[in-house]
Amino acid sequence: MENQVIPPLKIALIGYGKMGKAIEALAASVSCQVVFVGDKDWFDQVEMLKQSGAQVAIEFSSPESAAENLLRLIELGIPSVCGSTGWMDREFEVKAACLKLNGSIMLGSNFSVGVHLFFALNKKLAHWMAGFPEYSVRLHEIHHTEKKDAPSGTAITTAKGIVDQHPAYKAWGLSKETEIKGHIPIQAERLNDVKGLHAVTWESDIDQIEFRHLAHSRAGFALGALRAALWLYGKNGWFLVEEMYAFE
């Protein structure tokens, strides 16, 4: 039986960069309370984490740290919402540990409701475009200069949505690396203080169709992560953020 949340839900933040600070600032607005903050040295603070009574962890760290953070949280029995990207070469290992120890993890390349509406529109348009082979597609994403992975996890999820719906596309790659037929080219830029822009362009010799998502702040990502924590509490298993949103 799933546990019911008795507000406020007690949250541990693992990673205290810009996203961690945004989550902390908005926690109270959705009946959550940050009771523990751990950054790079948090493994030395495990006893403090246990004593905090944290019910769910929200992990936004780095590609280098995310897998080890999740494995440790699984061992501690703390459900975890993970927004870190760029570490998916270890996904199988982390998922196996989660299922073996009856843990609870939700992964998401992006938790914003606006982005998930964008994903749903992207898949629908790709499905329709399958009937019009004169159109080809390309993606463009821009983030701040501190983002380490490229392309972004959101861009990869967008590309996968097209691959799932359009038989002419089998894979994706950075545009500077590939012009292979059947590959979706992704242009990735890093500019100062860009919260996140993702654009999908379909083009033929006759015309062009483009739609995009532009984040004005990190608030959408932060609120989505907090809502994911509320959704995840009391559940066991391996989840993707798409399971929280039902736009299909």
Single pTM value for the model: 0.79
Is 143 among the catalytic positions?
A: yes
CB 215 within 8 A of CB 221: yes
The mean predicted confidence, pLDDT, of the chain is: 92
- Say how far apart CA 225 and CA 59 lie, in whole Å: 9
Q: What is the pLDDT of residues 89-135, one digit of tens each?
A: 999 999 999 999 999 999 998 899 999 999 999 999 999 999 999 99
Q: How buried is residue 132: exposed, middle or buried, by Cβ count under 10 Å (0-12/13-18/19+)?
A: exposed
Spell out the domains of the chain, with CATH numbers in brackets. Answer: 9-111+219-243 (3.40.50.720), 113-214 (3.30.360.10)
User: Catalytic: which of 18, 95, 124, 147?
Assistant: 147
Please give the pLDDT value at position 105.
98
Phi, psi of 65 (to 5 degrees): -105, -20
Identity of the amino acid at 75: E
DSSP state of 41: T
- Say how far apart CA 114 and CA 82 lie, in whole Å: 18
- Assigned token pair, 62: 């780095």
- Residue 196 binned pLDDT confidence (cut-offs 50, 70, 90): confident
Is 124 among the catalytic positions?
A: no
Compute the C-alpha angle 47/53/57, nearest 5°.
90
Q: What is the pLDDT of residues 159-176, one digit of tens each?
A: 999 999 999 999 999 876
CB 81 within 8 A of CB 54: no
User: Catalytic: which of 123, 143, 166, 183?
Assistant: 143
CA 64 remoteness from chain centre: 16
- Say how far apart CA 82 and CA 55 lie, in whole Å: 15
Tell me the CA distances in angstroms from 17 to 23, 175, 187, one per residue in order: 10, 29, 25
